[in-house]
Structure 1
Amino acid sequence: MQKKKSAPTYARRPGPPQQVRIIGGAWKRTPLPVLDALGLRPTPDRVRETVFNWINHQMTGDWDRADCLDLFAGSGALGFEAASRGARSVTMIDTVGPVVRQLELIKDKLKADNVRVLRADALAVARDFIQRGQRFDVIFLDPPYQQDFLVQALPLCAQLLNEGGLVYAESGERLPFAETDEAAEDVPEWLQPWQLVRADKAGMVHYHLLKLR
């Protein structure tokens, strides 16, 4: 009897293999392979360049004192970018086994001693960090779109940030901040603790830099 082939772990993404590159820091121009899987959507190079310019302006460039959390790490583009720029520590979380193994391979290749990779549920880990009193200076949120992860994650991030900390949030639509003072009461409860520092759009990607009020 012919042995039945096991199903793939998840669907393959159509088209050629992709990669992104680190924009700045010690590993500038280093390519990062993007695992061939549907749903893995790395933050584009030019978006990351803009976002890290925003963060640098807010932080005055003190990456060596910054502890970072990449809650939905995926390709690792955001976390490895922060590590390349000298972040004191970067903790990357993802729940998909092949994705985590890819992140570990990249970490080993770069000899990135300031990076820790965990295979776990992002929201569960965030709650555990809160219980343990662990805090971060920069949190990256680039979850799968249309699944309300930001609605769940941002209230947790409010308890995970050090004073003056920043959150980068990416989504398929602009976050519903009030355009005028009169519209402030229409802002959803999960966004009310947050102040929008900067926001922009690239194609279908809306990206935001936030800090606590």
Structure 2
Amino acid sequence: MAKSSTKQQNQRPSGHIRIISGQWRGRKLPVKDVIGLRPTTDRIKETVFNWLSPYVRDSHCLDLFAGSGGLIFEALSRYAESGLLFEKDAGAAAQLQQNIDLLKADNAQLVRGDTLKLLTKVPTQTYDMVFIDPPFRQDLLEDCCAKLEEYNWLSADAVIYIEREKELNQVKLPANWTILKEKQAGQVCFELYQRQAVINTTAE
């Protein structure tokens, strides 16, 4: 995420995100000015949803660090079945709820709280598509990925989108995740993985 709050207005002068395609195509949604909030750019989002096009419709989606909501609202606009949004910051969460209400997105549910703690709760269902775009340089990525597996948040062949800082090398991800796509834009790396269900294993 952006480290400097003094440049935030220059980085996002419009204070909004735009939904690219689907039922809400062209809709602009306000974004709360929160230090470190780094909405996925339209350019990256377009690439990512080209990757995700075979998987989005009727999927159950989970956004671990919802922030501006740009990824989850794009998925719901493209007819994902449902979306669960986690967000820790009070201001960002309030804006997300307002945007959910504005879109009349009855299939979206916002939960405010710390993602790592929320992931230790037993989920009511599994998720087919997960967005992981954590704050940069806070060492959250590996723990999140491990907890998704440990606490059974994922469907058998779930797809997982990860957005991370370029300098974060040798990330330890679950062994049953296979990379499908990867790309870099400036200082940001973005990747798409697919999970394979773990078959009966012998004792280590």
Residue of structure 2 aligned with 1:69, choices 54, 57, 62: 62
Number of the residue aligned with 2:202: none
* Superimposed CA distance per residue, residues 68-118 of structure 1 (whole angstroms, 9 cap, x where no aligned partner): 000100000011111111111100010111111100111111111111111
SS at 1:163 equivalent: strand
Residues 14, 194 of structure 1: alpha-carbon distance in 2 compared, 3 angstrom cutoff: same
Unaligned residue ranges in structure 2 (runs of 5+): 197-204
Change (3 A) 1:79 1:98: same
- Partner amino acid for 1:52? F
Distance 1:188 1:43 in 2: 21
Letter in 1 for 2:162: A
Give, in whole Å, the separation in 2 of the partners of 1:195 and 1:110.
Answer: 34
2:78 aligned with 1:95: no
Distance 1:163 1:100 in 2: 30
Q: What root-mean-square deviation, in Å, do the aligned CA atoms of Structure 1 and Structure 2 show?
A: 1.9
Question: Do the aligned partners of 2:145 and 2:174 also contact (CA within 8 Å) in 1?
Answer: yes
TM-score between both structures, scaled by the size of structure 2: 0.84
Point out the structure with the larger helix share: 1
Please give the secondary structure, in 2, of the residue aligned with 1:43: coil
Q: Who is 2:34 aligned against?
A: 37
2:130 matches 1:147? no
Aligned ranges for residues 120-135 of structure 1 at < 5 Å? 120-128=113-121, 131-132=122-123, 134-135=125-126
Q: Which amino acid in the other structure matches residue 147 of structure 1?
A: Q
Task: Tell me what 1:28 maps to.
Answer: 25
How far, CA to CA, are the matches of 2:100 and 2:68 in structure 1?
12
TM-superposed CA distance for 1:37, in Å, is 2.1
Q: How many residues get paired?
A: 187
Distance, in Å, in 1 between the alignment partners of 2:153 and 2:183 is 25
Which runs of structure 1 show a deviation greater than 4 angstroms over 4 or more consecutive aligned residues? none
Per the alignment, residue 113 of structure 1 pairs with: 106
Relative distance call for 1:32 and 1:161 in structure 2 (3 A) is: same
1:201 — aligned with what?
184
In the alignment, which residue of structure 1 is the partner of 2:199? none
Whether the 8 Å CA contact 1:24–1:85 is kept in 2: the answer is yes
Cα 1:174–1:164 change in 2 (3 A) is farther
